Structure 1
Amino acid sequence: MTAVDLTPFGFTPTESQVYQVLLEHGPGTGYAIARAANLARANAYSALAGLVAKGAAVGESGRPKRYRPEPPQVVVARLSSRQNAALDVLASSLEALAGPDSPSLVEIDSPRAAVRLISHDIARAEQSVTLMAPADAFPLLTPVLRQAVQAGRTTSLWSVGQAEALPFGEVSLVPKGYRWPGMPLISVVDDLTAVIAARQGGTVQGHWGQAPAFVAAARLSIERLGAGS
């Protein structure tokens, strides 16, 4: 089994080790888990308490007390929610200290990174949202798009392939025959930030930026692709 490393997300190495033991061996008492992990009992109980507190394990009632792991999908969802909330708090704090816009570009190297960056930008939109994305990206972005529409932001949405109808806004279809390395994934928010990326198979490559020329290039790309050129 691949080694589990939860340390980048606030877990200790021992907690990572014990969570992996729980996944491999199933629920067990603290004593059994300590033996399976080759840990001192005190260290195992400390790690189990940490896992329970951080939402990665559950302590069942009864004597002796048994512990079971939360499913990996649940743990990932909780970590994602916490990180997104922490990023929002950090962004709000940093905005008060913001310097001039930077010409630097942030590389996007996965579908998840692209969705997170676009979602974050749309959630903070104050005026307008322009988005061109593969059809299957819209269900992932629907909550934040709905929020933008309900807040009165102007939206222009384009789908590569037929997307499911959205109850709160029209989605235009990108004409066939477009020239792009894969499927375009482009966003412009408030004419201040943009994403220019391409999806090929299960990979996404591109950049996020706020330099005026980069944002203008993103808007021009959407206009030309939307016009079928």
Structure 2
Amino acid sequence: MIDRLCALGFTTQEARVYLALLQQPCATGYELAKGAGLQRANVYQVLASLTDRGVVARVSDETPARFVASAPADVFGRIKRQTADRADSLIADLAALSPAQDRAAFTLRDREAVIDRSASLVGEAERRVAVCLHAADLDWLAAPLRAAAQSGRQVVVNVFGDAELDFGEVYRHEPSNLAVGGHLLTLAVDHSAALVASLDEPVGAVFTRNPALVRVVEKLIRDETYMAAIFERLRPELEAAFGPHLVNLRTRLLPPDQAEQLISIVGFGAGGDAVAHLLADAPDGRTD
């Protein structure tokens, strides 16, 4: 608890006094010193600081003075609003200093950074969110997506794997264990920002506001959406023409290792004669 308070701007001593005062309302400085395990002189300095910030209040003019803690909802609601205002101001001021960043792409190399950036992008959306993800990614992205949909923004979700969604326009693809190419996530917001991530280890992602790159990501997501809708309606005809999971078409375009993975997944058995036959038909003539 103390560490979490310190992360919001409290000193260790301030955190200890505030916690002690919540548990012991109308306490004197002497009583708080005992409860917080601090020197009495230090407690009065801390109380003065907290009083100036509205975190505690003196409730008597008598000696010794008595104090109460302000309600946590009031204290941290104010901190939340002030932090949001400062962050918004910084975003605007820093953007003015470096307008060329809108043309750049930024690399993220940490899973938590990818999660934070993805959730932030969805939260910042004003009109539209489009995403391709695996069902497991909904553990951390479902709440921001649902909030976006409930606020009236268009939310398009392409999901690989089994997931029950109560929001957005949902397009279902094959289970995650049948997908080739690894654990990928693509996200586009308001036709103005995009993120592409590989969530297999080592995790890596690129975030961009570059208009050309954003259009490419938008097209990737749209193509996945088209394919899911068309495959749901015309699966028998498509598989009759191109094989199970469109294997005859896809093996001509995938890298060799992913082509063999796909063939194994759809049931031919990697390494068999059918694998060699399909790969031999590929444009580059690969037979491995």
The TM-score normalised by the length of structure 2 is: 0.53
Q: Deviations over 1:81-120 (max 9, x none)?
A: 6544443444456667773423131526413343123322
Structure 2 counterparts to residues 36-75 of structure 1, below 5 A: 36-38=37-39, 40-49=42-51, 52-53=54-55, 64-67=66-69, 70=72, 75=76
Helix, strand or coil: the match of 2:99?
coil
Between Structure 1 and Structure 2, the one with more strand by share is 1
Is the 8 Å Cα contact of residues 105 and 210 (structure 2) preserved in structure 1?
Answer: yes
- 2:122 is matched with 118
Letter in 1 for 2:138: A
Q: Where does structure 1 lack aligned partners over 5 or more consecutive residues?
A: none
Which residue of 19, 23, 29 maps to 1:27? Answer: 23
Higher relative contact order structure (alpha carbons within 8 Å, sequence separation ≥ 6): 1
Shift in alpha-carbon separation, 1:97–1:145, aligned structure 2, 3 A: farther
Letter in 1 for 2:158: W
Deviation of 1:45 (Å): 0.7
Helix, strand or coil: the match of 1:65?
strand
Is the 8 Å Cα contact of residues 111 and 199 (structure 2) preserved in structure 1?
Answer: no
Shift in alpha-carbon separation, 1:211–1:116, aligned structure 2, 3 A: same
Q: Are 1:163 and 2:164 counterparts?
A: yes
Q: Deviations over 1:3-33 (max 9, x none)?
A: 6275664x253xx432145448962434333
Between Structure 1 and Structure 2, the one with more helix by share is 2
> In structure 2, how many angstroms separate the alpha carbons of the residues matched to 1:69 and 1:109?
35
- 2:241 is matched with none
How many residues of Structure 1 are paired with residues of Structure 2 in the alignment? 206
Is the 8 Å Cα contact of residues 192 and 210 (structure 1) preserved in structure 2?
Answer: yes
Deviation of 1:188 (Å): 1.0
The TM-score normalised by the length of structure 1 is: 0.63
Identity %: 17
Shift in alpha-carbon separation, 1:225–1:85, aligned structure 2, 3 A: farther
Is the 8 Å Cα contact of residues 196 and 207 (structure 1) preserved in structure 2?
Answer: yes
Larger Rg: 2
Shift in alpha-carbon separation, 1:179–1:88, aligned structure 2, 3 A: farther
> In structure 2, how many angstroms separate the alpha carbons of the residues matched to 1:131 and 1:195?
9
